[in-house]
Amino acid sequence: MNSLDQAVADFLSSPRIAVAGVSRDSRQAANAIYRKLKAAGHTVVATNPQATQVEGDPCHPTLRAIPGGVDAVVVATPPRAALEIVMECRDLEIRRVWLHRSFGQGSVSSEAVDFCRSNDIAVIPGACPMMYCPPVDLAHRCMRVCLGWFGRLPKIPG
C-alpha cells in the first residue's frame, strides 16, 4: 500500500468526521462529500459559520462547537479559510485533515499543509474523499485515474 492509500485508509477509519464548508446550497462539492460519507456509514457532522442546518441536519459554526468533537476533518472551503480550520484542529487535537481538491485549487493552501505537517496533523493535501470512499462512482473513479496519470494526486511523505 502506498503512502496516499494508507493516509486515506487511516482517514476513513475515523469514527466521527466533520466536513467544513457544507453549504445551504446542496449542489456544492462539500455537500456531496457530506452525503457520500454519511451514505457510506460514517458519522458525519457539518460546519459552516453561516448556516444552522444543511442537508436536513444540524450545522455548527466551528469545529469547537460540535458536541462530542470529531476525529477527522474534510476541509471543503476556499483555501483562505483552510489555515484557520487546521489551527482549530490543532487546538482540538484533531490529527487527521483532508484538504479537498479535484481539478482546481480546491481548499489546499501551502500554509495549511505546512501548518499540519509541523503540528503532527496527518494531512491529505488534495484529491476528494469521493474518489476513495466505497462504493466509488464511475465519475470519481475516472477522476482518480486521470489525476494519477498527470501526477496530480497528493504526495504524502512516508
Which grid cell is 134? 466505497
Res 72 pLDDT > 60: yes
Give the containing element (helix H, strand E) for 46. strand 43-47
Give the model's pLDDT for residue 105.
Answer: 75
The span from the CA of 54 to the CA of 96, in Å, is 23
Sequence-distant (≥ 6) Cβ neighbours of residue 131 within 8 angstroms? 140, 141, 143, 144, 147
Report CA torsion sign: 22, 93, 109, 137: negative
Q: What is the pLDDT of residues 7-57, one digit of tens each?
A: 999 999 999 999 999 999 999 999 999 999 999 999 999 999 999 999 999
* Topology classification of domain 3-149: Rossmann fold (3.40.50)
Give the model's pLDDT for residue 1.
Answer: 55
Q: What is the pLDDT of residues 94-126, one digit of tens each?
A: 999 999 997 677 899 999 999 999 999 999 999
Q: Residue 75's pLDDT band (boundaries 50, 70, 90)?
A: very high
Q: What is the pLDDT of residues 140-151, one digit of tens each?
A: 999 999 999 999
Give the model's pLDDT for residue 2.
Answer: 76
Q: Residue 157's pLDDT band (boundaries 50, 70, 90)?
A: confident
The span from the CA of 69 to the CA of 18, in Å, is 9
In 3D space, the residue among 59, 57, 56, 58 whose CA is nearest the CA of residue 21 turns out to be 59
Decide: pTM greater than 0.85.
Answer: yes
Give the model's pLDDT for residue 23.
Answer: 94
CA angle (7, 71, 54) in 5-degree steps: 105
Reduced DSSP (H G I as helix, E B as strand, rest coil) percent helix, strand, coil of the chain, to 5: 35, 20, 45
Give the model's pLDDT for residue 120.
Answer: 96
